[in-house]
Amino acid sequence: MPHDPTDDTGSVSEGAAQEAGSGARRPSVGVLGVGAASLFSDTSHELVTSLLPTFLGSTLHAGPGLLGLVEGSADALTGLSKLAGGPLAADPQRRVRLASSGYVGTALATAAIGLTTAVWQVGLLRAVAWASRGLRSPARDMVLTTLARKDRYGRAFAVERAGDNLGAVLGPLAAALLVGVVGTRPAILLSVFPGLLAAVAIVVAARQARTSLSEPQTRHRIGLNLRALVQAGVVRTLLPVAAFELGNVATTLLILRATGLLETSASGGTARSVAAATSLAVLLYAGHNVVAAGTALVAGPAVDRADPRWTLAGGATVYVLGYGLLAVGPHGWPTLLIAFVFAGAGIGLAETAESTLLAQSLPDDLRPHGFGLLGLVQAFADLGSTVVVGALWAAFSASVGFSYAAAWMLLSVVLCLALVRRRGAGGETEAAT
């Protein structure tokens, strides 16, 4: 399978340009390796994520407020570690170690949740796992931009996002199977095996990216380069992203909402057991991730052809529809499936658009720092969304919480359309060349 070597600044060598003519539509082995790493890693931690609401609620007796706090705090640490991981990923020689150790840390900390006996222990391990995940993310993204041509960034990120979302299908399916065979705690412990396979896959991909560099590389000075990022227009780039993420609640809250609705009957009929409702909610979540994976692959070519903000606006729009259904609170699984499909399509569109928008809008030397800043914005906005929605749910109702999230998604649509119009009118100069 052909490979598109690039130098560390993202420029394509003459040989790569000739090679691209015959096989540019097919991803390189390295890009597929990154996708495999995301597939295995997400299989691991999504297995645990799908069981976490029931584990916290039924085993540790925690409510939606504590679930939101655990998930939101972990997201905040993810953001800080991504910000730190950006400058570290600027050094090509450091990326292999940073990426592989991050995947190993995520796998071990996530599986160890199966040994916990208190909510604070779950919160601590979730934080360690998500911090490791954050440190590795800029290194993984820089590996992708090294392996792909600049006009194919969307396709490269689509492969990674599709792997991520397919893993989020296999994880819940494995959870639904294992929880009935070995129980919740052993199922969580078994998540370590696909997590370790992810570390192997990213090492293979990162080494190929390192050997594709056309010139010997020197070590880079570590720094955040925030001033340079602001001068390059990163604030304008991240405004609609921040609004979207402020409405992007943790998927555990979606699962919790579906589980609660499926346990009860609107017509006074026979209620489902907790186990039956949980299994059905996990299957709905698996359907959500199937749609997310397929949508990401469609979004890749779209964001390469047009302004990624169009795709981001589309993702936010379908999220509004999904949140609207969850706010109304249908008790039937077919209507809940529609809500999860809308949410899956939204995340598949938006995640591909966000990474590509950042990669396209920054010069090559600022790109790793930009990926770190993007991760910080995503994580802290998700913290705000998840904690606030959880608190509104506990204080008022789930309908109030999901309506709040939908309002942020609407704002993201407005900002995307305004910035696309401004660019079309010649009022915006992109920083990337």
pLDDT digits (tens, 9 = 90+) for 244-303: 989 998 887 888 888 888 777 555 555 667 777 777 887 888 788 889 888 888 888 888
Spatial distance between the Cα atoms of 208 and 148, rounded to a whole number of angstroms: 12
Radius of gyration of the chain measured on its C-alpha atoms: 21
Sequence spans of domains, the chain: 27-215+225-424
What proportion of the chain, given as a percentage, has pLDDT over 90?
Answer: 8
DSSP string, 142-176: HHHHHHS-GGGHHHHHHHHHHHHHHHHHHHHHHHH
Query: What pLDDT, on the 0 to 100 scale, is given for residue 320?
Result: 92
* pLDDT band for position 378 (cuts 50, 70, 90): confident
Query: What pLDDT, on the 0 to 100 scale, is given for residue 385?
Result: 83
> Is the distance from CB of 68 to CB of 402 less than 8 angstroms?
no
Residue 427 has pLDDT above 50, yes or no: no
What proportion of the chain, given as a percentage, has pLDDT over 70?
Answer: 80
Residue 410 has pLDDT above 90, yes or no: yes
Q: Which of 68-77, 142-151, 194-203 has the highest mean pLDDT?
A: 194-203
Query: What pLDDT, on the 0 to 100 scale, is given for residue 212?
Result: 57
Q: What is the distance in angstroms between the CA of the first residue and the CA of the last residue of the chain?
A: 29
Which range is least confidently modeled, 75-89, 306-320, 351-365, 405-419? Answer: 75-89
Q: Which of 74-78, 118-122, 144-148, 192-196 has the highest mean pLDDT?
A: 192-196
Query: What pLDDT, on the 0 to 100 scale, is given for residue 103?
Result: 86
Spatial distance between the Cα atoms of 268 and 28, rounded to a whole number of angstroms: 55
Query: What pLDDT, on the 0 to 100 scale, is given for residue 68?
Result: 66
> Is the distance from CB of 87 to CB of 383 less than 8 angstroms?
no
For residue 191, the 8-state DSSP code is T
User: Could you identify the residue written with the tokens 């489902």?
Assistant: 272
Residue-averaged pLDDT of the chain: 77
Query: What pLDDT, on the 0 to 100 scale, is given for residue 420?
Result: 77
* pLDDT band for position 72 (cuts 50, 70, 90): low
Spatial distance between the Cα atoms of 323 and 102, rounded to a whole number of angstroms: 33
Spatial distance between the Cα atoms of 33 and 30, rounded to a whole number of angstroms: 5
- Three-state secondary structure call for residue 267: coil
Average pLDDT of the segment spanning 162-171: 83
Q: What is the pTM of this model?
A: 0.69
Element (H, E) at 132: helix 119-147
Backbone angles phi, psi at 6, to 5 degrees: -135, 160
Query: What pLDDT, on the 0 to 100 scale, is given for residue 307?
Result: 82
Which whole-number Å values give the CA distances from 158 to 131, 258, 259, 294, 305, in the listed order? 23, 28, 30, 9, 14
Average pLDDT of the segment spanning 87-108: 78
Q: Quick count: other Cβ atoms within 10 Å of Cβ 422?
A: 12
Q: Which two structure tokens, joined as six digits, stand for 355?
A: 């990474």
- Three-state secondary structure call for residue 417: helix
Element (H, E) at 398: helix 398-424
Query: What pLDDT, on the 0 to 100 scale, is given for residue 413?
Result: 92
Query: What pLDDT, on the 0 to 100 scale, is given for residue 411?
Result: 94
State the alpha helices, DSSP H only, in 182-273. 184-189, 192-211, 226-231, 234-246, 251-263
Q: Specify the CATH number of the domain 27-215+225-424.
A: 1.20.1250.20
Element (H, E) at 1: none
For residue 310, the 8-state DSSP code is H
Residue 409 has pLDDT above 90, yes or no: yes
> Is the distance from CB of 139 to CB of 204 less than 8 angstroms?
no
Nearest to 349 by CA among 120, 154, 83: 154
Average pLDDT of the segment spanning 363-381: 76
Query: What pLDDT, on the 0 to 100 scale, is given for residue 23?
Result: 45
Residue 12: strand pairing partners: 6
Average pLDDT of the segment spanning 297-310: 82
| Type of residue found at 334 | P
Query: What pLDDT, on the 0 to 100 scale, is given for residue 328?
Result: 85
* pLDDT band for position 233 (cuts 50, 70, 90): confident
Q: Which residues contact 295 (CB under 8 A, 6 or more apart)?
A: 344, 345, 348, 349
Residue 400 has pLDDT above 80, yes or no: yes
Query: What pLDDT, on the 0 to 100 scale, is given for residue 383?
Result: 72
Average pLDDT of the segment spanning 224-240: 77
Q: Give the residue with greater pLDDT, 85 vs 397.
A: 397
